[in-house]
Amino acid sequence: MQDRDDFLKNPNVLSQYNLLQDLGVFNYIDTLKKDIRNYEAIINAAKTILNSKTIDDILESAVKEISDRFLPSFLIFLWKPLSSHKDLVFRGYRNFQTFDTSLQIEDLAPFNSFFKQYPQPISFDLLEYQLNNPSVTDPMKESKPDLVIPILGPSELYGLILVGPKLLEEQYSLQELSFLDKLMAFTSLAIQNYIHYQYSVRDGKTGLYNHGFFMVRLKEEIARAGRINQPFGLVIIDVDKFKHFNDTYGHLAGDAVLETLSQTIQKNLRSQDIPSRFGGEEFTVLLPETNRASAWVVAERLRTAAAAMNVPWEKQLPQVTISLGVALFDGSERIDPELLIQRADEALYQSKQRGRNRTTVWGAGLLHKTEQLRSSFISEQ
């Protein structure tokens, strides 16, 4: 589209200037140009938001776009995490900084049917009137949001975004609401994509990475170690006498043990470490850029933390222990993932044979001894 100044220089336009002015053509052109600028801003914001790799990046990108344009007094994001047994996750932003919100919402189910029928931003007052359910909307009143925006997935509501009143003006205009609606559609899509990705790479029961993701990362670490000669560690963890525990206390109690142990493992690792559920009561941990001594220290930290954990249950459960096997790779040999797993597994078997609740690091001399111990251990089970 021609710039307005160029448009006005056209002789045909000049000859009909008064008529075009009376018909509102020039005002319409200005409106179109403003809409184009808004769409360009939305597209640029969408690129940033959709290219974000983590939930923090998604939220911070959305907060920046909203805050730059509207200056809301606050933004609160809440969403359902991967594991269904966990509480909702809350994240509040004020002046680009996070803050602890006192919002008390335990379940998204009461909002689900409403936002599936009306999938767009809505004023809090109208939401309160439409739901007519004070037990659901009253917890939001303390925050005093102006707008409530749904984060919708294909089959259910994933979360909500609460937008506070504007700092400089009284109300959001229709144009601003339209911009916000489109921007939040991209934000919701990015959060949906993040959640879907997490579902594809994480174990639903424990929230740790699943076996498929672990194998991909293990292959990547082997290749990386071969390129830069940087060692990494692999830890295999097994819950001691877990079958006996399940037979005695039931599988639901066993699930509680696995969930608590998973949380304990996550709390005692670095952000770059890769904990995963290997299968059943077995877990694996990839330790990038870790030497033999450091891998042993990490494994021992996990072992002692597991022995000290309290499993929430309707009655007191006995203390749970774990056995661990550690294998290292420094890039100095050709190796496939299965062989490295086998080495860690052999070290784990020796930990079991030596009395359980201990850590063993694989060494070249361990191979034949482990093979002899394996059959006797299996027969004991």
Contact yes or no for 49/62 (Cβ under 8 A): yes
Q: How far apart are CA 187 and CA 158, in angstroms?
A: 12
Cα 345–347–350 angle (5° rounding)?
A: 110
pLDDT at site 375: 43
Q: How far apart are CA 159 and CA 79, in angstroms?
A: 4
Contact yes or no for 275/269 (Cβ under 8 A): yes
H/E element, 328:
strand 322-329
pLDDT at site 371: 44
- Encoded amino acid at 186, one letter: F
Q: What is the dotted CATH code of the domain comprising 52-201? A: 3.30.450.40
Hey, do 52-201 and 211-380 end up sharing a CATH topology, with the first three levels equal?
A: no
Contact yes or no for 217/286 (Cβ under 8 A): yes
pLDDT at site 88: 83
Tokens of 342: 């086998």
**Cβ contacts of residue 159 below 8 Å, gap of 6+?**
77, 78, 79, 80, 88, 108, 150, 151, 191
pLDDT at site 344: 96
pLDDT at site 252: 93
Place of tokens 């936002």: 115
- Encoded amino acid at 65, one letter: E
pLDDT at site 3: 56
Domain 211-380 top-level CATH class: alpha beta
The residue among 193, 246, 228, 234 whose CA lies nearest residue 336 is 234
Q: What is the pLDDT along the chain (381 residues), one digit of tens a residue?
A: 445 556 666 776 666 666 766 677 767 777 777 778 777 878 888 888 888 878 888 888 888 887 777 788 888 988 877 554 567 888 888 887 888 888 888 888 889 889 988 888 888 999 999 999 998 899 898 888 988 988 877 777 888 889 888 887 677 777 777 787 788 778 878 887 887 788 889 888 898 999 999 999 999 999 999 888 889 999 999 999 999 999 999 999 999 999 999 999 999 999 899 999 998 999 999 999 999 999 999 999 999 999 999 998 988 899 999 999 999 998 888 889 999 999 999 999 999 999 999 999 998 555 444 444 444 444 445
Count how many Cα atoms sit within 13 Å of the Cα of residue 121 in the half-sphere of its side chain.
23
Q: How far apart are CA 204 and CA 211, in angstroms?
A: 12
pLDDT at site 73: 87
Instruction: Write down the domain spans for the chain.
Output: 52-201, 211-380
SS3 323: strand
Tokens of 319: 């203390």
Strands of the sheet with 282-287, listed across from one edge: 274-279, 282-287, 232-239, 322-329, 359-361
